[in-house]
Amino acid sequence: MIHYEAFLTKTEATEQELFYKTGYGKEVLKKKLHKTLESIKRK
């Protein structure tokens, strides 16, 4: 697993999922994943 997010409510999870499906949201997620992969490579 590379990335995991937890939410207190289904509404919050749905809103975040919809955000990640937007153009800007995809870029944000891409940067998060890139940062995670880079930190794994350094170990």
pLDDT digit string, tens, across residues 25-39? 999 999 999 998 998
3 close to 32: Cβ distance less than 8 angstroms: yes
The domain locations on the chain are 10-42
- Mean pLDDT on 7-36: 96
Question: How buried is residue 25: exposed, middle or buried, by Cβ count under 10 Å (0-12/13-18/19+)?
Answer: middle
pLDDT greater than 80 at residue 1: no
- Listed residue (28, 4, 33) closest to 41, CA to CA: 33
Q: How confident is the model at residue 41 (pLDDT cuts 50, 70, 90)?
A: confident
Is the pLDDT score of 5 beyond 80?
yes
Specify the pTM: 0.73
